[in-house]
């Protein structure tokens, strides 16, 4: 069943700034959707429009078939977790969680039951009488989630909830959020700028760029078949190597002296891409090109090698190679590489669409 529908949703500010031209998205019940994009791409604005904290300038928002554009945030049956948690500092954890239920005139016994249940689920039972100021970052994060959960809303909205936590806690909370969401089965809309968070959490991802949805799909769709160079470079770390090239009869012409053979009907300017993990080391005879090594990052399980293409006319084009296991090549030496055709990504340079 389709739960949330965004139909040609757009946002224009009173000063005329067109923040979001038009976004279409339909979310299935229980689905975990992540909105991801660089800062200023409109992802938070979109989330706030769903929440009712920003007005919707164009298009229609429907939750369970009902038009929501004119409804107050409280009437939309959503719950939101804010980046800074937005806990009420003068209330105890218990009252923070009970506030929404009290406002909805739920009876005292029911409130107590619900708050205790959720507190137990989140491991907050011992903290119920504390105030937010006495909690650690991770605990505050949990309270914010608990406050959203007690109301048992139709939709959860998360606005970069993990960005104020340290790296280790972030990974832990990421896993916890995913497990909780699976368990509760609540439709979720989650905003982040962190592509790792996006990939690990999402059932489906929406990559936003300048207010436009560049691509909507499962994390693996986006990784394997990015629709645009923007998605290609945004998803995956380190990001995909992208080079401007020319598609000619002999294949992909990267420079006057380097053409990678390919038969393709398209002719013209393209963007050629390959992920760092898909480049393979080989010997001079079988190599497609050579890389002059400039820096080596050893991460133990994998090694990232940064270099520039050793090509007469294209000297200085940077490329990254990702190898599994430890490697210690000498700096400034040449590395011979091959790029298997099946891993190539080709985009039309003008329309920015995948070929």
Partner 1 sequence: MTVTFPQKGLPWLLLLPQLLVTAIFFLWPAEQALEQAFYQEDAFGLSREFVGFENFIELFTDPLYYQSMLTTLFFSFSVAILGMSVALLLAVMADRVIRGKLAYQTLLIWPYAVAPALAGVLWWILFDPSMGPIALWLESAGVDWNHYLNGNQAMILVVIASTWKQISYNFLFFLAGLQAVPRSLIEAASIDGASPFKRFWTIVFPLLSPTTFFLLVVNLVYAFFETFGVIDATTKGGPGQSTNTLVYKVFEDGFVGLDLGGSAAQSVVLMGIVGLMTVIQFRFIERKVQYS
Distances (CA, A) of 186 to 79, 149, 178, 200, 229: 11, 9, 11, 17, 33
Q: Check binding of 133 to partner 1 (CB under 8 A).
A: yes
CB-count burial class (<10 Å; 0-12, 13-18, 19+) for 312: exposed
- Phi/psi at 80 (nearest 5 deg)? -125, 140
Q: For residue 206, list its beta bridge partners.
A: 35, 216
Q: Check binding of 78 to partner 1 (CB under 8 A).
A: yes
Tokens 């954890």 — which residue? Answer: 93
In the list 33, 79, 124, 274, the residue contacting partner 1 (rule: CB under 8 A) is 79
Q: Check binding of 237 to partner 1 (CB under 8 A).
A: no
Q: Check binding of 86 to partner 1 (CB under 8 A).
A: yes
In the list 50, 80, 271, 337, the residue contacting partner 1 (rule: CB under 8 A) is 80
Q: Check binding of 129 to partner 1 (CB under 8 A).
A: no
In the complex, least distance from residue 155 CB atom to partner 1, rounded to whole angstroms: 11
Q: Check binding of 225 to partner 1 (CB under 8 A).
A: no
The mark string for 90-109 relative to partner 1 (x by CB under 8 A, - otherwise) is x--------xx--xx-----
The mark string for 18-57 relative to partner 1 (x by CB under 8 A, - otherwise) is ---------------------------------xxx----
Q: Which is nearer to partner 1, 79 or 198 (CB)?
A: 79
3-state secondary structure of 76: helix
Binding positions for partner 1, 151-190, rule CB under 8 A = 151
Sole window of 68-76, 201-209, 334-342, 343-351 interacting with partner 1 (rule: CB under 8 A): 68-76
Q: Which of 203, 207, 228 is nearest to 216 (CA)?
A: 207
In the complex, least distance from residue 113 CB atom to partner 1, rounded to whole angstroms: 18
Other CB atoms within 10 Å distance of the CB of residue 226: 25
3-state secondary structure of 165: coil
d(CA 157, CA 144): 12
End-to-end CA distance of the chain: 33
Q: Which is nearer to partner 1, 140 or 322 (CB)?
A: 140
3-state secondary structure of 324: strand
Q: Which is nearer to partner 1, 104 or 267 (CB)?
A: 104
Q: Which of 241, 266, 238, 240 is nearest to 252 (CA)?
A: 266
Q: Which is nearer to partner 1, 144 or 309 (CB)?
A: 144
In the complex, least distance from residue 345 CB atom to partner 1, rounded to whole angstroms: 40
In the list 74, 175, 248, 269, the residue contacting partner 1 (rule: CB under 8 A) is 74
Q: Check binding of 82 to partner 1 (CB under 8 A).
A: yes
Q: Which is nearer to partner 1, 51 or 177 (CB)?
A: 51
d(CA 236, CA 196): 8
DSSP alpha helices (H): ranges in 35-107? 43-51, 93-103
In the complex, least distance from residue 324 CB atom to partner 1, rounded to whole angstroms: 43
Using CB under 8 A as the binding criterion, the count of chain residues that bind partner 1 stands at 24
- Kindly provide the b/e burial profile for residues 179-192, where b requires at least 16 CB atoms within 10 angstroms of the residue's own CB: ebbeeeebbbbbbb
Angle at 346 between CA 342 and CA 351, to 5 degrees: 155
DSSP 277: G
Q: Check binding of 132 to partner 1 (CB under 8 A).
A: yes
In the complex, least distance from residue 135 CB atom to partner 1, rounded to whole angstroms: 9
| Residue numbers at the binding site for partner 1 (CB under 8 A) | 51-53, 72-74, 78-80, 82-84, 86, 88-90, 99-100, 103-104, 132-133, 147, 151
């Amino acid at each position: 069943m389709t739960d949330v529908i965004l139909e040609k949703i757009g946002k224009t500010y009173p000063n005329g700034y067109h923040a979001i031209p038009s976004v279409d998205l339909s979310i299935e019940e229980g689905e975990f959707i992540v909105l991801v994009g660089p800062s200023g791409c409109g992802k938070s604005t979109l989330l706030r429009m769903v929440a009712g904290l920003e007005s919707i300038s164009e298009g229609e928002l429907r939750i369970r078939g009902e038009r929501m554009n004119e409804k107050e945030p409280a009437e939309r049956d959503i719950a939101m977790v804010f980046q800074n948690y937005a806990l009420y500092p003068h209330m105890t954890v218990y009252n923070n969680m009970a506030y929404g239920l009290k406002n909805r005139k739920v009876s005292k016994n029911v409130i107590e039951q619900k708050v205790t249940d959720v507190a137990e689920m989140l491991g907050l039972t011992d903290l119920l009488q504390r105030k937010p100021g006495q909690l650690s970052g991770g605990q505050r994060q949990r309270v914010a989630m608990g406050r959203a959960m007690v109301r048992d809303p139709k939709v959860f909205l998360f606005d970069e909830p993990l960005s104020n936590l340290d790296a280790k806690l972030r990974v832990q909370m990421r896993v916890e959020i995913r497990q909780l969401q699976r368990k509760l089965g609540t439709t979720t809309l989650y905003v982040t700028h962190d592509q790792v968070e996006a990939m690990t959490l999402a059932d489906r991802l929406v990559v936003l760029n300048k207010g436009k949805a560049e691509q909507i799909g499962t994390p693996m769709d986006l990784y394997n078949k990015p629709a645009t160079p923007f998605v290609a470079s945004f998803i995956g770390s380190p990001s995909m190597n992208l080079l401007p090239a020319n598609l000619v009869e002999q294949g992909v012409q990267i420079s006057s002296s380097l053409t990678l053979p390919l038969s393709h009907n398209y002719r013209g300017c393209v963007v050629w891409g390959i992920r760092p993990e898909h480049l393979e080391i080989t010997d001079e005879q079988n190599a497609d090109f050579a890389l002059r090594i400039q820096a080596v990052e050893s991460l133990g399980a994998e090694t990232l090698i940064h270099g520039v293409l050793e090509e007469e006319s294209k000297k200085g084009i940077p490329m990254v190679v990702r190898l599994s296991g430890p490697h210690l090549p000498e700096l400034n030496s040449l590395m011979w590489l091959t790029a298997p055709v099946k891993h190539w990504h080709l985009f039309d340079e003008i329309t920015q669409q995948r070929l």
